Each structure stands twice: as structure tokens, then as C-alpha cells.
Amino acid sequence: MIPMGELIVFESADLIPSQWNDSSHGSVPVRCFNPALVKNGFQWIMAYRFVGPDQIRKIALCRLTPEFKVIPNSAILFSDLIHVEGRRWFADPRFFYLQGNCFIYWNSGWEDTFNRQFLQQVDLSTMLPVGPAREIKLKSGQNKLEKNWMFFDESTAHAVYTVSPHCILSVDLSGLGDVMCETKTSHHWDLSAYAQKYGDLRGGCPPQKIGDRYYSLCHSVSGTEGEYRYVAAFYCFSATSPFKPLGFSKIPLELPNPWGAVRDHPKLNPAVGEVIYPCSAYFEKGIWVISYGINDEYCAVTQVSHDVVLQHLNQV
């Protein structure tokens, strides 16, 4: 495990998939960022965004030791193995378990006029896709931008659609076609004490159940264009339907970032400044293992005590 508060930042060179041929790209930078973690026995599997000099957004997977060291030559271009229409942009992968099976889901970014989300079962022993990729859709009221849903519940799939109002979707995974979702519950609650300073809470990490509550690490955005600042913050809700929201962070959770808003490469997104983008928060024995992206350039992992999380929360 990681010593409390210590930061692990992965070298992008260690995360480049073996199938990727860089012989014609010279010194143009490669970016690996926004990592999600899932445990597979004693190892970890990490999914992350991979952006080469061609600027095509892909998803790669690799294996990590229990100490979060990259297992040499384990990285693969997972998105190259998935067959979906318009497959040039694969963004921000997440993992979740349902009935003993592991799934990965992602969004199509801005390549399409309509932002799309997809779900794919994955075999963790091989890191290969199982069956077809399936598009995730709302039965009604879908917006052009839909990319921050958070799937949860290992017995019957649900997803957090928005944090405020706290809208929960039921998820129909039957069949092999589109995954259809519809609103199950919605609660209005007041998050203005946080949002006025740091922005609205948006989706981030799939919720984790602790006792009679789910906890989820989200992100929020504040500032002006060109300097938008992304930060991380927890909230929690009841583990039983109607999944009533119960608390939210008073202030952002300060995850380590040695760079601040400084970058090693030109910005991928000119609108942003400092970016802390949480993608998974795994809870075990009072400790959160949190994986997140830094400035659209790096994959990072750190640990946070649950006591620290509880100290941040306002109860409602």
C-alpha cells in the first residue's frame, strides 16, 4: 500500500502500449492521464486515457503490482479492440462490478455532435473485452452532453445522473442492445454553500458502499475560461432507495499536485488551468485509494483516511 498522503505519479513512458508504433513521431509528447483502478486478486488493473501525437483519444489498460508499480509490457490499447461506430474518441474510462462481472464505461467526447456513452464487459484475467460494446441511453430527455454518470450497486444496476438535484437512474442491462436508463428517484437539496465557491458537483468516481451509505468522490469546476480549476470533493447518500442525499464536502479534498497549473506540454484543452480529475476511489479498511488525472498529462494515485473524508462532510 501507499504511505498515507504519499503521491505516486506514473511515468507516461511506462504506460505506452506495446502495439503503439511511435517510430514516425519523434519527440512529440504522449499523454497518459485520468486513470481508473479495479482490483484483480492481489494486482490492480488501471484504465486511462492515452493521447499520442495524432491527438486521437484512446483508452489503454495495464497491470499494476500491489505497490502500484507498472508491470512491464502489460499495457494494451483496449479501445482498439472495441468495435463501435465513430471510434476515434474514447474518454475517461470507469470500472464497476455487477453480479460478479466487471464493466468499463466511457464517453465519446466531442467527436460526435451528440456526446455518447458506452458500456463494455471486460475479462480482468486477460484485459480483453467480452461481448459487444453497448451504448448507454436515457429513455427520454437525453442532452447533447452526457458524460458524468456514476454507476453503482452490485446487485441491481443504478447510476447517479446528477448530484444536484440528486437524480438516480435505473439501468436495464437485459439483452445485448442499448443499455436503457430512466429516472428512478430525484431529490432537490441545497449545495450552494459549496457550489458558490467551487462550482457544482459533477460525476467522478463510482460510489462505494460503506455501512448504510454510498460515498462518491466527484469533481467541480470554477474560475474563468483559460484558467478553469478542477477540484475533487466527496458527497454521500443513503444506500437504500430512494437514495436520499445525506452530506457533501464543505471544501475540496486537497489531492497532491506537484505542478499546480504548470504543464510540461501544451494544453490539450485551452479552457482549463489546474486539473485534478478523480476517476476511482476504492475503499478498504478505513482507507481510500484514489486515482486521478493531473492537468490532462499524468496518472496519479494517493491514499486518504476515511476520517479525513468525514471531517470534510456537511450533514444534511
- Residues linked to residue 267 through DSSP beta bridges, in sequence order: none
Please state, in angstroms and rounded to a whole number, the distance separating the CA atoms of residues 36 and 106.
Answer: 11
Residues in a beta bridge with 184: none
CA distance 27 to 24: 9
User: Domain 7-315's class?
Assistant: mainly beta
What is the SS3 string spanning 187-209? ECCCCHHHHHHHCCCECCCCCEE
pLDDT of residue 143 exceeding 80 = no
Cβ-contact 279, 59 below 8 angstroms: no
Element (H, E) at 47: strand 43-51
Report the range of poorest mean pLDDT among 31-35, 38-42, 270-274, 298-302: 38-42
How far is 277 from 275, CA to CA, in rounded Å? Answer: 6
| Cα angle, residue 107 at apex, residues 101 and 108 outer, rounded to 5° | 135
CA 287 to chain centre: 19
- Please return the burial class of 12, using the count of CB atoms within 10 Å of its CB with bins 0-12, 13-18 and 19+: buried
CA separation for the pair 69, 92 (Å, rounded): 21
User: What average pLDDT does the structure give for the chain?
Assistant: 90
pLDDT number for residue 24: 45
255/114 Cα distance (integer angstroms):
32
Confidence (pLDDT) at 75: 96
3-state helix, strand, coil in the chain (%, to 5): 5, 50, 45
Residue 27 has pLDDT above 80, yes or no: no
Cα distances from 295 to residues 90, 146, 271, 298, in angstroms, run: 18, 22, 12, 7
Percent of the chain with pLDDT over 70: 93
pLDDT digits 0-9 by tens, 264-286: 999 989 999 999 999 999 999 99
145 three-class SS? coil
What cell numbers appear for 97 in the block? 462490478
Distance of CA 289 to the CA centre of its chain: 13
